[in-house]
Amino acid sequence: MECGESELIVKYLLPDYKEKAVTFSCDDGAKTADTKMVELLKENNLKATFNLVGNYLKGENGTWYVSAEDAPELYNGFEVASHSSTHPHWDEITDDEAKKDISDNQTYLNTVFGYTPEGFAWAYGDPQNSVLYNYLEEIGIEYARPVNTALNYEIPADWLVWKHYKATVTSVNDVGSDFLNNCKYDGKPKVLAFWLHSWEWDTDGKFIEDGTADEQWAVMDAFMKKVAADEKIWSCTNLEFAKYAKALDLVEIEGRKITNNSQLDVYLNVNGENVIIKAGESLTA
């Protein structure tokens, strides 16, 4: 650094210069409950990810789940990720059987939605199996989500075990309020990721003793409204957040030159000034 030259201070931001993100991950594809979840999301102009099981879409487990015929319209505008073909217990099948289960659902969801999912939610939780982790990477999966509970709001270190908070009435009230009110931006984006079964929210008394499903959904709606009203929050799908966070990792700073080595535009604050660096381009501050 030359004499008199100020230090380069770079802060990493989310799209539109947001500081924090909120994302939802909803499992299984329960027809009535997912329809309610989608309704609330649309009313509040928020995004989410829906993790679907091939056999459920095919109707092999009854009409309780969204059908393959109705799914494209219901989930239009949201991310569809894979939740396996059969919702297996991973420790009860071989690695080859697990790979086939995963692969079959990738193919099937492509036929239903016209694109191959890049996100995955582990049925019954993280298998802690490096063979399957490697397989997900081989087939182009950007992230995978277990049911283990998150411990903070930091960007995950391991995208194949991206832990979310389980969304219950208590956690949405407590963790949600903490994130909105107490989580401070420190130059790196923060994220609150909730996973849920919409059907639990649609079950009387599940989260509120002697309460109704409507009372439970009212808690979710109130939280969504707070998220939508917060100008510092980016509402995104799981895939959008994962891809953007990975893009930030590819920002290289050398002296006063900042290079965006990713395929996405990135948003930064450089010495107090908001800037966008286009994909593959550089900026000298």
Burial of 54 (0-12, 13-18, 19+ CB in 10 A): buried
| Of 15-19, 136-140, 149-153, 261-265, minimum mean pLDDT range | 149-153
In this structure, of 14-18, 149-153, 240-244, 274-278, the range with the lowest mean pLDDT score is 149-153
Q: Quick check: 42 and 224 in contact, CB under 8 A?
A: no
pLDDT in the model for residue 1: 37
Q: How many whole angstroms separate alpha carbon 175 and alpha carbon 255?
A: 39
Alpha-carbon dihedral sign for residues 29, 35, 36, 37: positive
Cα dihedral sign, 143-126-51-77: negative
Mean pLDDT in residue range 27-37: 98
Strands 282-284 and 257-260, by their bridges, are antiparallel
Burial of 1 (0-12, 13-18, 19+ CB in 10 A): exposed
Q: Are 20 and 192 in contact (CB under 8 A)?
A: yes
DSSP code at position 80: E
Quote the pLDDT of residue 5: 62
Q: Determine the average pLDDT of the residues in 130-139.
A: 98
Task: Indicate the domain borders of the chain.
Answer: 20-247
Average model confidence (pLDDT) across the chain: 97
Which band of pLDDT confidence, cut at 50, 70 and 90, is reported for residue 7?
A: confident
d(CA 252, CA 126): 33
pTM of this prediction?
0.96
pLDDT at 224: 99
Does the domain at 20-247 match CATH 3.40.50.12780? Answer given as no
